[in-house]
Amino acid sequence: MDIAPIIDKLNTGLFIGGQWRDAEGGKTVDVLNPATGDLVTTVADGSAADAEEAIKVAGDTQASWAATPPRERAEILRRAFELLIDRADDIAAVMTAEMGKPFAESKGEVAYGAEFFRWFSEEAVRVGGDYTQSTDGKTRVMVSREPVGPCVLVTPWNFPLAMGTRKIGPAIAAGCTMVFKPAKLTPLTSLMLVDVLVEAGLPAGVLNVVTSGSARRVVTPWMESGIARKLSFTGSTEVGVGLLKQAADNVMNTSMELGGNAPFVVCEDADVDKAVAGAVQAKMRNSGEACTSANRLFVHSSIAEEFSTKLTERIGSMTVGNGLEDGTEVGPLVDQDALDKVTSLVDDAVAKGAKILTGGSQIDGKGFFYSPTVMTDVPQDSEIRITEIFGPVAPIVTFDTDDEGMALANETEFGLVGYLFSENLERSLRLADQMQVGMVGLNTGLVSNPAAPFGGVKKSGLGREGGKVGIEEFLEIKYVALPRT
């Protein structure tokens, strides 16, 4: 697939106050294709001064945007949804070129990401309030919801469209202006999203985008500005904790979707074929580079051999290659650091006694490819048991009782998502209640859904994105007391 004509038409500058422009000093940063290591293009490398200008514009625009009728905001989102669907092939091709996932998965992300715009277009006109009276009957109690104010949005590289729409959608619906920092590894998809929103009629100054090779250089001025009132961040727990400390200085509203270490529990009464299909879906989506990826597979000892054999057959037969080539099922990891991390985790587990059933090594040649891997007998002291892998590696551990399975599932400081396979409804619901996570997939390897609240507990984050509660993260409650006469 030749993406050069699409790349040639891209706006690759900063987008501030409704205008595309160069970064301060004309600096740029390279965007590479992880399947080949080749240069895709360059984008503006924003400075602290660029960031300061962007947040000032967002602050200046907030009042007028908040006064925009909800229906008008809704129609902008609806038009943007339709444009994303119309341009799915081009956006997916660029996404694959900069991030590596197979083209079919990229198209799936466009459909998924676009749905957040449709969902929040419908929520924009349903922001409500309340009207009651005080207990003594002397005061009318009027409660309304209003935009929280200018928002700082920071997204990761692994889902470059959906992570943007999941934040931008509710912010627009609620009436908030934004400053947006896309991931430095995958900025192009986000810039295509900006073009879509402009064409859909988003007014100048509502969304301001600063790409940069340094997130700290851009985000710190926003956090310290005193203008931003909300931070929505998706990324590592380590970075999230640092941002929470910065947010405290200005008592900013925050929502955070942070690291994961998802357990995938297969009970003795599970449908093994269904569990294997779910494991492939939960583990291999995005080459395992997802916060929702099944990180630790716990399988009842009575079915472990059958499950491991079938999973090995399926994962071992997957086609690895450039995501822009037909038939590719597993793309590259995003960069050399990601490849080195996965290699180190697997090597450590093997050195401590883990057994490789398939894969277990880097793939020679261009790009950052790691072979789809299944391993068993993974010792408790292996780093892979406690670290988010972010790669196509499925470590299997056995258990003998439900209590043991739940103890293994919960022995982590993270709590984003868990997966549970059982054909017994009572057991499924009981164990789902015991899982210390924000989301549970029962007999499914896919939990992400724009109509559902996405988020975790413990060190996996704060707040929820999507669903009916998603817009609440961008609203404040105001109470007006009116004496009865």
Could you state, in order of their start, the residue ranges of all structural domains in the chain? 3-258+460-481, 262-442
Cα end-to-end span (Å), the chain: 73
For the chain, helix, strand, coil in percent to 5 are: 40, 20, 35
What's the CA gap between 117 and 108, in Å, rounded? 15
On the question of a common fold for 3-258+460-481 and 262-442, the answer reads no
- Write out pLDDT tens, residues 195-232: 999 999 999 999 999 999 999 999 999 999 999 999 99
DSSP code per residue over 348-378: HHHHTT-EEEE--SBPPSSS--B--EEEES-
Q: What is the pTM of this model?
A: 0.96
- Write out pLDDT tens, residues 106-116: 999 999 999 99
Could you tell me if 442 and 420 are in contact, meaning their C-beta atoms sit under 8 angstroms apart? yes
Catalytic residues: 257
Q: Tokens for 342?
A: 């996965």
β-strand 139-147 against 475-483: which pairing, if any? antiparallel
> Residue 210: which residues within 8 A CB-CB, separation 6 or more?
14, 16, 44, 46, 50, 51, 54, 179, 180, 181, 218
What's the CA gap between 478 and 218, in Å, rounded? 31
Q: Does domain 262-442 have CATH number 3.40.309.10?
A: yes
H/E stretch holding 242 reads: helix 237-249
Per-residue pLDDT of the chain (485 residues; tens, 9 = 90+): 789 999 999 999 999 999 999 999 999 999 999 999 999 999 999 999 999 999 999 999 999 999 999 999 999 999 999 999 999 999 999 999 999 999 999 999 999 999 999 999 999 999 999 999 999 999 999 999 999 999 999 999 999 999 999 999 999 999 999 999 999 999 999 999 999 999 999 999 999 999 999 999 999 999 999 999 999 999 999 999 999 999 999 999 999 999 999 999 999 999 999 999 999 999 999 999 999 999 999 999 999 999 999 999 999 999 999 999 999 999 999 999 999 999 999 999 999 999 999 999 999 999 999 999 999 999 999 999 999 999 999 999 999 999 999 999 999 999 999 999 999 999 999 999 999 999 999 999 999 999 999 999 999 999 999 999 999 999 999 999 999 98
Domain 3-258+460-481, what fold? Answer: Aldehyde Dehydrogenase; Chain A, domain 1 (3.40.605)
